[in-house]
Amino acid sequence: MGWDVLGIVRGYSGLLGDDEVVRLTKDSVRGIAHMGGTILRTTNRGSPFEYPVRQPDGRFIYIDRSDDLLQSARDLGIDAIIAIGGDGSLKIAQRLQDKGLNMVGVPKTIDNDVSGTVTTFGFDTAVQTALEAIDKLHTTAESHDRVMVLEVMGRDAGFIALHAGLAGTADVILIPEIPFDMEKVCGKVVARDRAGRRFSIVVVAEGAMPRGGEVSVIGESMPGQAKRVGGISELVAQEIRERTGKETRFMILGHLQRGGQPTGYDRLLSARFGGAAVRAIADGRFGHMVALRSPHIVTIPIEDALREPRRVDPDHDVVRTARATGISFGD
Ligand code: F6P
């Protein structure tokens, strides 16, 4: 295109003087397709609209720095910004668009919780990692007659648990969209035991919760960060042990899901999203997000993608097929 391309380091911090803006050339982006993560680094702390600023006494206050950001973009001669991220990043992109910056969104999150696109990039890689973990947990589960409870990420969405759980033929899948009942979960474990299948694999999404219960939260978040979800696997394992007498172990897969080599699918999808984002800028389609509408990449208004967060539809064919193969959702 003959355009100058700048990389804004660490989210919007690069435009707010807390980090830098670097020139991206063919050389600086060479040889990174097989790598996970981002050469531009990132942050999930603080939107420019509620930017955390540390006070001398250590406390944080939150101030709106969006005008500083706009000024900095103008000073750098920026004509358009491509914002890559999940719903939080896209919400910020929409607000900046409303303030007059030309924004194009690219949906990237392992949680797959952005509406309007068949999938986000990063999701497939996370599912693959979760699937490998399930396959490996089968070994000890089978040899030791144990119930293995694997906790996967996804925040308020159960896509990673659902997809890895079905692909890995888990026995129980617990997701936020289908609150569970421990009696039902244990019923499945006991029924398998009676049928001579003395082990079970339970895949639980970090945001899953018992009916009438609450999401399990671990530790404190940093200022400007969303709550840290997690720990439900330990509670589920403990309950199964107490109610069935079976030996149980839990494992929190954690950040392994956010790292390593991206799958071929994710590499292809991100390359296609990147190309489409550039074409969107060339066509002046600002305030839009690139999206996969198989077999095509399209653009949709970011507003449409944000209207409601994407969640697992309990009637979706993946759930129905999982149920048909005997997988319990604990409901
Ligand atoms: O939103 C992506 C995600 O990986 C969630 O699945 C997970 O809950 C969260 O981010 C983890 O965030 P952090 O790295 O800040 O603990």
User: What is the C-alpha end-to-end distance of the chain, expressed in Å?
Assistant: 54
Give the atom of ligand 1 at the shortest distance from the alpha carbon of 226. Answer: 15
Whether a cis peptide bond, with omega within 30° of 0, leads into 295 is: yes
Closest CA to 7 of 16, 20, 17, 18: 20
How far does CA 215 lie from the centroid of its chain? 17
Closest CA to 208 of 150, 256, 259: 150
**Can you give the pLDDT at residue 43?**
86
Please provide residue 25's backbone torsions phi and psi, each rounded to the nearest 5 degrees: -120, 175
Are 80 and 284 contacting, i.e. CB atoms less than 8 angstroms apart?
A: no
**How big is the chain, counted in residues?**
331
Q: How far apart are CA 210 and CA 107, in angstroms?
A: 30
User: Quick one: tokens of 93?
Assistant: 């992109």
79-130: per-residue pLDDT in tens?
999 999 999 999 999 999 999 999 999 999 999 999 999 999 999 999 999 9
Nearest CA, atom 16, ligand 1: 228
CA dihedral 187, 188, 192, 198 (to 10 degrees): -90
- What DSSP string describes 79-93? --EEEEESHHHHHHH
Q: How far apart are CA 46 and CA 262, in angstroms?
A: 27
Nearest CA, atom 12, ligand 1: 228
Q: How far apart are CA 15 and CA 69, in angstroms?
A: 6
Separation of CA 45 and ligand 1 centre (Å): 12
Number of neighbours of residue 218 by Cβ within 10 angstroms = 14
Give the atom of ligand 1 at the shortest distance from the alpha carbon of 229. Answer: 8
Ligand 1 pocket, mutate which of 38, 41, 42, 44 (most atoms under 8 A from CB): 44
Give the atom of ligand 1 at the shortest distance from the alpha carbon of 154. Answer: 6
**Can you give the pLDDT at residue 54?**
87
Closest CA to 331 of 186, 137, 198, 181: 181
Give the atom of ligand 1 at the shortest distance from the alpha carbon of 206. Answer: 8
Closest CA to 104 of 89, 119, 118, 121: 89
Show which residues are catalytic.
111
Q: Which residues line ligand 1 (CB under 6 A)?
A: 44, 86, 109-111, 153-155, 206, 228-229, 258
CA dihedral 117, 301, 111, 157 (to 10 degrees): -90
Closest CA to 145 of 244, 216, 76: 244
Separation of CA 4 and ligand 1 centre (Å): 32
This prediction's pTM: 0.96
Separation of CA 324 and ligand 1 centre (Å): 31
Separation of CA 155 and ligand 1 centre (Å): 7
User: Quick one: tokens of 124?
Assistant: 């497939």
Q: State which residues of the chain have pLDDT below 70.
A: 224
Separation of CA 3 and ligand 1 centre (Å): 34
**Can you give the pLDDT at residue 224?**
67
Q: How far apart are CA 249 and CA 326, in angstroms?
A: 22
